[in-house]
Amino acid sequence: MRYSGFKVIKEALTGHKGWKPAWRDPDPQPHYDIVIIGGGGHGLATAHYLASVYGQHKVAVIEKGWIGGGNVGRNTTIIRSNYLLDGNEPFYEFSLKLWEGLEQDLNYNAMVSQRGIMNLIHSDAQRDVFIRRGNAMILNGADAEYLDLAQIKKEYPFLNFDDARFPIKGGLAQRRGGTVRHDAVAWGYARAADSRGVDIIQNCEVTGFRIEDGKCLGVETSKGFIGAGRVGCAVAGNSSRLMAKAGMRLPIESHVLQAFVSEGLKPVLPGVITFGAGHFYVSQSDKGGLVFGGDIDGYNSYAQRGNLPVVEDVCEGGMAIMPMIGRARLLRMWGGIMDMSMDGSPIIDRTHIDGLYFNGGWCYGGFKATPASGYAFAHLLARDEPHATATAYRFDRFRTGHMIDEKGMGNQPNLH
Amino acid sequence: MHDLTPITALGGSAARVDSVGDVTLTEVPDVALASVAARRGHEGVCAQTLESVLGTAAPSPGHAAEGAEYAAFWTGPDQWMLSADFNGYEDIAARIKSEVGDTASVTEQTDAWVCFDLVGPHINAVLELLCNVDLAGFQTGRATRTSIHHLGCYVISTDAGQSVRILGPRASAGSLHHAIITVMASAL
Amino acid sequence: MTQKNRLNGGQIDRDTTLNFTFDGKQYAGHPGDTLASALLANNVRLMGRSFKYHRPRGPLSAGSEEPNAIVELRSGARQEPNTRATTAELFDGLSATSQNRWPSLAFDAMAINDRLSNFLTAGFYYKTFMWPAAFWEKIYEPIIRKAAGLGSLSMRADPDTYDKGFRHCDLLIIGAGPAGLNAALTAGRAGAQVILADEDFRMGGRLNAETYPIADMSGADWAAQTVAELATLSNVRLMPRTTVIGAFDHGIYGAVERVSDHLATPAAGKPRQILWRIYAKQTLLCAGATERPIAFDNNDRPGIMLAASMRAYANRWAATPSHRVAIFTNNDDGHRTAHDLQGKGVKIAAVIDTRQDAPRSYDYEVLQGAQVVDTKGRLGLTFVEVNQVDGSTRTVECGALGVSGGWNPNVHLTCHQRGRPTWDENLAAFVPGGTLPSGMNVAGAANGDFSTHGALKSGANAARKALGLKGRAPAVPEAEDAPGTQTPFWYVEGCSRAWLDQQNDVTVKDVKLSHQEGFRSVEHLKRYTTLGMATDQGKTSNIGGLAIMAELAGKSIPEVGTTIFRPPYTPTAIGVLAGRMRGKEFHPTRLTPSHVWAKERGAVFVEVGNWLRAQWFPLPGETHWRQSVDREVTATRASVGVCDCTTLGKIDVQGSDAATFLNTVYCNGFAKLAVGKTRYGLMLREDGIAMDDGTAARLAEDQFVVTTTTANAGRVYQHMEFVRQCLMPEADVQLISTTEAWAQYAVAGPNSRRLLQKIVDPDHDISNEGFPFMACANITVCGGLRARLFRISFSGELAFEIAVPSRYGDALMRRLMAEGEEFDVTPYGTEALGVMRIEKGHAAGNELNGTTTALNLGMGRMVSKAKDSIGSQLSERPGLNEADALMQVGLRPLSAEDKVTAGGHLMKASGPVDAAHDQGYVTSAAYSPTLGHMIGLGFLKDGGNRMGETLRLVSPVTDLTVEVEVVSAHFVDPEGERVRA
Amino acid sequence: MIINHPLLGPRDSAEFVYLGAAALMDRPDPETASAEDWHDYAYLRDNPAGPHRELWFHEGGDRSILIVTRDTTTHEITGVELAREVASK
């Protein structure tokens, strides 16, 4: 069933009787060519591209709970490709290009809104680093724009220019960055994949892998054994838990990242703003809520909730850069489990087990990567070779010393 | 005798005094400080030496002690901060080193800190807005490190509910002072 | 101003009149009123518009669960959007404005959405606005954004201040209703440290809203008397106007005290609000219960409200939405409202009771087994349509309708650590369940004890249990003890545009569509329909939606699940979560010992981390910073300059194993460093990447003074403690920071020795022989002041660093300036410092960027293979030692007037300019007055072997391309003769 | 969170800096360790959902490094030790 404005009007006039479920609710088949574990954004996107680009149709997505219930359903909705390192920038730019055509590709309005993102600069050293980054973006075919103080005052007059502890000295903008309605991404990919025959199996927990002489034959689940030619794991914060069932230890720690939304407000923020002298970034949703976040809590956690010190730290950053939000109210806060990798960059790679593939280590940057992550993982699963934009995302880069460390923090995941 | 004129941590020639209601905040520049850390394997001897230097047992974790010449508070495992009147004890580090010898490492800390005395009947109303200390249990002689205005400070209860001594990082004396007097105005 | 709907009695001070305005119109109320109660008393029912359809709305409730009556409170910079009229305490001069309407509340053009509602069903926007792609940002989205949102920000900085504080207690009691008050009484009398917090400005909870007695007095009087006794107990702290917003790990609670929100403006020096971090050994949740509505068509008109709220307005605030009201209920509680209002002279048009056996023992008409099927009245209720038990319909005229569908325990805080409420069949409601936050107990209505007696009893018992009190429990005063069983009645059969979430306009119809399209889990329902996502956080709406979804799915409510509540309990001002850390106070400021003097000299300061450092010292006539900086560099290199370098981290490393320790943390050797000598040291992370560099001066066999970069002081100290405590636990090493204890100045330039000789006491020989390059010593200056002298150089000149106790730093600087006059001594700032270190090719923060190795920095040989040190092993990985690894080089523009930009990328002289052909990047750049052109440092692939090669420096983001030559990074005095002079 | 410091009693975790898994104390022996050992030590983590031994540096307190045993699914803390004492055992 195609969605369109005409369809909406037709249904409105006929009592909305014609709307069908957005995806089926099938029982698992005994065997699939490819089984993807994890019905989040990355898993569902992988299924969609497997079916739509790589011609794979005997595909299942297995989800422990309800699809889209993980980080794709709890993030700050930002998309951007403002990366520094060559291992990352082409991949994220590829992702941004996929975002730009997403609605037409999925026939689902995920409200991709390229309202722009701007990183504020507060010191000369920071400016040097951001100029290097902006150049790297342009040299990789992305867009970047250096804004001086005057331009920032013009575009963002409500920022703190009067009594800032760390005065704003400039900014690096990416006009093509922006936000997306996060839940809709999961739903859109699910609906599109389902329409091409992919089985989306909810409330089905993977309890183990069936591995015989180094080959993965399928997965044991709460709904029984499901055979698979290849198994792809895309479970973000739960990666270590899942892969431990295959006897693997990962270069990943799970940490909690909190995110926040204010009460609905009439439009005040044009785009996404990142504060360079504190832990705070913010955008405004179409419903009017200020969606903001900051640093991770900093300790290993699977609890999906954080604590007050980080809430305060984030709000201090917000008040420092945007003192007009003091009387706006924080409506809701929540925590997600981040798969923090050892260099802050992801892994899309084979494992040492034949037929078992891994996608994870997204840290808190996984949402913006959703389309390219799905695309590249689909490529790897279908062709058994890395996608051109994801060749650096290997397990063995830590062994060989080819880390992709954007922040230069080394092997301490909570600092990335 | 050298001829360099000192300034206080707040940058003045005289100590700063501020009052709100019946609570007074006084900058105390005349404090000499030295850190004493027992050498590995000499913890026992060091503690004994300190006891003789102080004239009372070296304070246990979370506590401070008053001696005749010196006062001390615990700062870490087998580590203490000793203080004395700056006038007459400016060379506090050398003096104590001569006492403890090779049983401890001694480091001059006099000018690493700014020292304030907060005195008055309602200081707890001020303290509860400044730092995370369980004031019901903060009896005279207790000493703790805590964060004030994001600054790591030592707070010593010199007279429970009536007077505390606050040691903060010297370079941030101005920020610390501002934070305390702002909160005094708010709480009192 | 007449208060047409003001009744008799109530807990308001009629002797005082408070004037206020709503949408510019003048009204009067009394102390004790909320904005909503005062407006109702003035016969104002219409207070807001809904989010999506802009439906006219009045208050649904009398508390913080309010979805409808939300307004913009105050004006100017204090404008406060989305404020609940039902909790806003009235003060004289209060001004409020309705929001999310245009042009006016009574006539809102956006109400067209209501007419189009059939097109704007749940999730409609996911299905359209897709073509053409470009139209989304340009056309559709701006319209949607403008229509959405509720109140508006002033766009000005919040003029009020906020405090934060800490409180500790044995027992935190949340909610001061009958359960909370009796618990506080029990615990307080037992001598425990008790905090009793309530979001209301008047403690007592429902007791203030009811008429039935406790013992021989009214509930309200009993509450007042109890509060009075508690106030006399020194171990009990009463915190009214304080909302506990969240339960965090290990008994830490966030609570917001509204100190000044009931005043026109905060008193001088006082905060608007305070965020309390409450550390509770035990917690007792007595948050009461929230009445739940019934869904029927058009159940959202102004005048339709929860029956118990209507009762609260009448009893506590002596206000009624109308003088002719009807009640729609499925339980006895609705009749209490009818009874109380009638007692205050309000005409009860009818009580419509869904139960066929509804009690008739009252002197008003009761329609048994009847249901409200529709309502009338555009801006306020005028009629309700009733289906009677015999099937006949009847119209009841009324200006207000009280609705009662039973009660839901307020379990919110029990969920904050993901405890899952459990379904209680008797109550047909969720009660606290799963794992509660550690140390939390629940009592009273929040735990399903709905009767007053039950609340009093469970409150006392829970307090005794929490504190482990022994002995007989004290008697519970006499109070009503009605049975708490409830039979559910969620919605009227066949209703469609029946509101569940009134603020977000989610109707029964939307839930049905959500089910039809497969969004059937609670989380999908919430997200697809936005049920419960509004500012009231679904306090009155979630359960209804859940019940309907359960019925459609043929499941039980617990099978469908419950949405778990997250902090904050009610929306919380962002300002109070930030507290005082804003503006200039966002971070503490660190000042150097020479700051006062530098300020007098008119220095320009720059933020370096939390430090403020002198950036340059402009002289009269200098109009551009470059003039000052060039002069400072030239003068220093020509004669002598002085720079405050106190900000460098200083760590005192002592102990018999100090040398062994440094040998482990530095990649180069320190074991054999002689006493009286200083050595440059490079510190690696365990992953082989450079962490920091600095010097270590050996002042004695068992004492080193280690310096770190300004930026890394904290991290290096932490790293050293890790090595000391976790990797070398037996070593005899003691560490302590002395960064701020010593004022340290660089004295640099050919005349530096001559200048210092005038300051250092004569018995210390600082001649080149007596005090050669890299020497260090404890000395005395100015006639006996203890000091430290290091012969180290960052500038590449003959240079020293001299340190004295910080309090003398100001005097020493002034002395250096006075004694230096004969050499034209020049103070220099961080800019000149930076220029000189770039001229010397010294790595700094820009080069130590967390991705560079010793090899990259041209120090590969420093990594000693003769010993084990942190990072030496992993630094040998192939990826860090490739043939064309980046190497630090110097860069010189081919034409002297060209600009060199840090952050620029390096490309070959010819060929494509793109990432694939990237050769490296520029880390630092400056104008060298010594050389008369700009210079740069950078990392270049195989840089060591490309001296003399011409490259293109490209910086597209700053629109720059220049040709540069690869040269040695040591631009000035490459042989290093000056430093040894 | 509240960490029950062996010497100082209950302290707010905000006074501490988190340093990661306690396994970081088991640095390979440079004499005998293989490149693989170093890789595993520096980069691989158990990252359990459940009890986790981890290092907390009391940066805002007495500068002790503590080994805290904390359940990563509930945040419940079941053990706290002084790292230096454990290391020197």
For chain B positions 108-147, those within 8 Å of chain C (CB to CB) are 108-113, 128-129, 131-136
D86: distance to nearest CA of chain B, Å? 14
Nearest CA in chain A to D74: A303
Nearest to A102 by CA among A57, A144, A41: A41
Check CB contact of C727 with chain D, cutoff 8 Å.
yes
Beta-carbon separation of B144 and D8 below 8 A = yes
Look at residue C813 in the predicted model and tell me its pLDDT: 98
Q: Does D59 touch chain A (CB under 8 A)?
A: no
Q: Which among A238, A252, A301, A395 is the top mutation candidate for probing chain D, defined by the most D β-carbons within 10 Å of its own β-carbon? A: A301
DSSP-derived 3-state class of residue A221? strand
Q: Is the CB of D45 inside 8 Å of chain C's CB atoms?
A: no
Q: Are residues C16 and C62 in the same domain?
A: yes
- Torsion of Cα atoms, C200 then C206 then C209 then C214, to 10°: -130
Distance of CA B62 to the CA centre of its chain: 13
Contact criterion met (CB below 8 Å) for C755 and C746: no
Contact yes or no for A302 and D1 at CB 8 A: no
Round the average pLDDT of chain A to a whole number and report it: 97
D17 lies within 8 A of chain B by CB: no
Q: Does residue A396 belong to the interface with chain C, where contact is any CB pair within 8 Å?
A: no
Position C43, amino acid: N
* Distances in whole angstroms, Cα of residue D61 to Cα of each of B75, C284, D85: 8, 31, 18
Q: Say if CB C255 and CB C411 are below 8 A apart.
A: no
Nearest CA in chain A to D1: A307
In a domain, C200, yes or no: yes
Interface test with A, best of C577, C590, C689 (most A CBs within 10 A): C577
Instruction: Please check whether residue C434 lies inside any domain of the structure.
Output: yes
Do C149 and A264 count as a contact with CB atoms less than 8 A apart? yes
Angle of helix B173-187 versus helix B123-130 axis, rounded to 10: 120
In chain C, which residues have their Cβ closer than 8 Å to the Cβ of B136?
168, 193
Which of D12, D60, D82 lies at the smallest CB-CB distance from B152? D60
User: Do D62 and B76 count as a contact with CB atoms less than 8 A apart?
Assistant: yes
Q: Which CATH superfamily is domain B31-110 in?
A: Heterotetrameric sarcosine oxidase (3.30.70.1520)
The pLDDT confidence band at residue A361, using thresholds 50, 70 and 90, is very high
pLDDT of residue C136: 85
Instruction: Write the pLDDT tens digit of every residue in D77-89.
Output: 999 999 999 999 8
- Say whether residue B31 is in contact with chain C using an 8 A CB cutoff: no
CA distance C399 to C377: 9
One domain for residues C5 and C121: yes
* Residue B98: partners with Cβ closer than 8 Å, 6 or more residues away: none
Alpha-carbon span C195 to C683, nearest angstrom: 51
Neighbours of chain B (3+ CB pairs under 8 A): C, D
Indicate the domain borders of chain B: 17-29+112-187, 31-110
Which structural domain range is residue C285 located in? 162-289+410-467
What is the number of other CB atoms lying within 10 angstroms of the CB of residue B60? 9
| Among A239, A259, A261, A260, CA closest to A250 | A239
Task: Estimate to the nearest angstrom the gap between the alpha carbon of C648 and the chain centroid.
Answer: 32
Question: Beta-carbon neighbour count of residue C894 at 10 Å?
Answer: 12
Structure tokens belonging to residue A273:
């703003």
**Per-residue pLDDT band at A412 (split at 50, 70, 90):** very high
What ranges in C752-808 are assigned the alpha helix state H? 752-757
Contact C790, C695 (CB under 8 A): yes
What does the alpha-carbon distance between residue C785 and residue B90 come to, in Å, rounded to a whole number?
10
Is A303 within 8 Å of D73 when comparing Cβ atoms?
A: yes
What pLDDT does residue B33 have?
A: 98
The whole-angstrom separation of Cα D53 and Cα D79 is: 9
Q: Closest to C144 (Cβ–Cβ): which among A103, A163, A286?
A: A286
For residue D70, name the pLDDT band (cuts at 50, 70, 90): very high
Residue A369's pLDDT is what?
98
CA distance C346 to C323: 5
Query: Exposed, middle or buried: residue C767 (CB in 10 Å: 0-12, 13-18, 19+)?
Result: exposed
Distance (Å, whole) CA D36 – CA A96: 37
For residue C694, give the nearest of C645, C748, C753 by alpha carbon. Answer: C645
Relative to beta strand B71-76, strand B79-85 is antiparallel
Rounded Cα gap, residues C247 and C244, in angstroms:
8
* The two three-digit tokens of residue C798, written as one number: 């003959």
Question: Residue C698 and residue C706: Cα distance in Å, rounded?
Answer: 9
A285: nearest CA partner in chain C: C145
For residue C789, list its beta bridge partners.
C777, C802
List the single residue in C with minimal CA-CA distance to D36.
C874
Whether A267 contacts chain C with CB within 8 A = yes
Model confidence at B162, in pLDDT bands (50, 70, 90)? very high
| CATH assignment of the domain containing C898 | 2.40.30.110
Domain A117-176+254-341 in CATH 3.30.70.1090? The answer is no
Residue C263: inside a domain:
yes
Residue ranges covered by each domain of chain A? 26-81+83-107+182-251+346-415, 117-176+254-341
Q: What is the pLDDT of residue C129?
A: 87
Domain count, chain D: 1
Distance from CA of C841 to the nearest CA of A (A): 17
Euclidean distance between CA atoms C724 and C733, whole angstroms: 7
> D-chain residues within 8 Å CB-CB of A302?
49, 72-73
- The tally of domains found in chain C comes to 4
| CATH code of C420's domain | 3.50.50.60
Contact C906/C701 with Cβ under 8 angstroms? Answer: no
pLDDT reading at A295 higher than 80: yes
Domain A26-81+83-107+182-251+346-415 has CATH 3.50.50.60: yes
Q: How far is C221 from chain A (nearest CA, A)?
A: 35
| D positions 63-82 inside 8 Å of A (CB) | 70, 72-75
User: Cis peptide before C132, with omega less than 30 degrees from 0?
Assistant: yes
Q: Which domain holds residue D75?
A: 2-26+33-88
Please indicate if any CB of chain D lies within 8 Å of the CB of C600.
Answer: no
The single residue listed with the structure tokens 């279908």 is A382
Candidates B62, B74, B147; nearest CB to D60: B147
Confidence at residue C143, expressed as pLDDT on a 0 to 100 scale: 86
Q: What is the number of CB-based contacts under 8 A between chain B and chain C?
A: 152
Residue C809: φ, ψ to 5°: -60, -40
A101-153 per-position pLDDT tens digit: 999 999 999 999 999 999 999 999 999 999 999 999 999 999 999 999 999 99
- Beta carbons within 10 angstroms of residue B169's beta carbon: 21
Cβ-Cβ contacts under 8 Å, B143 against chain D:
none
Going by C-beta distance under 8 Å and a sequence separation of 6 or more, which residues neighbour residue C819? C755, C758, C759, C825
E strand or H helix at A178 = strand A178-179
Fold of B17-29+112-187: Gyrase A; domain 2 (3.30.1360)
Task: Please list the rounded mean pLDDT of every run of 10 residues in chain C (981 residues).
Answer: 90 98 98 98 97 96 97 97 98 97 92 90 89 83 86 96 98 98 98 98 98 95 98 98 98 98 97 98 98 98 98 98 98 96 97 95 91 97 97 97 97 92 95 94 97 97 96 91 91 95 96 96 94 94 95 92 89 97 96 98 97 98 97 98 98 98 97 97 98 97 97 97 98 98 98 98 97 98 97 97 98 98 98 98 95 96 93 97 97 97 98 97 98 98 97 98 98 95 91
Q: How many helices (H) and strands (E) does chain A have?
A: 11, 18
Contacts of B80 in chain D (CB under 8 A): none
Q: In angstroms, what separates the C-alpha of D48 from chain B's closest C-alpha? A: 31
Are A296 and A338 spatial neighbours (Cβ–Cβ below 8 Å)? yes
Beta carbons of C81 and C72 less than 8 angstroms apart: yes
Q: What is the DSSP letter of D25?
A: G
Q: Which helix (H) or strand (E) holds C683?
A: strand C678-684
- Best of B60, B73, B138, B147 to mutate (most D CBs within 10 Å, chain D): B147
pLDDT in tens, A304-353: 999 999 999 999 999 999 999 999 999 999 999 999 999 999 999 999 99
Laid out side by side, the sheet with D51-57 consists of D17-21, D51-57, D65-71, D77-82
Q: How far apart are CA A89 and CA A174, in angstroms?
A: 13
CATH of the domain at D58: 3.30.2270.10
Q: What is the pLDDT of residue C624?
A: 97
Q: Provide the sign of the torsion angle of the four alpha carbons C610, C615, C618, C624, taken in this order.
A: negative
Residue C573, judged by CB atoms within 10 A of its CB (0-12, 13-18, 19+), counts as buried
Q: Which amino acid is at A128?
A: D
What distance in Å separates residue A310's CA from the closest CA in chain D?
Answer: 9
B-interface mutation test, from D16, D63, D85, D88, most B Cβ less than 10 A away: D63
**Amino acid, single-letter form, for residue C166:** F
Does a structural domain hold residue C847? no
User: Chain D partners of B146 at a C-beta cutoff of 8 Å?
Assistant: 15, 60
Burial class (CB in 10 A: 0-12, 13-18, 19+), D62: buried
Instruction: Let me know if residue C111 belongs to a domain.
Output: yes
Strand partners, C681: C694
Q: What is the rounded distance in angstroms from the CA atom of residue C267 to the CA atom of residue C275? A: 18
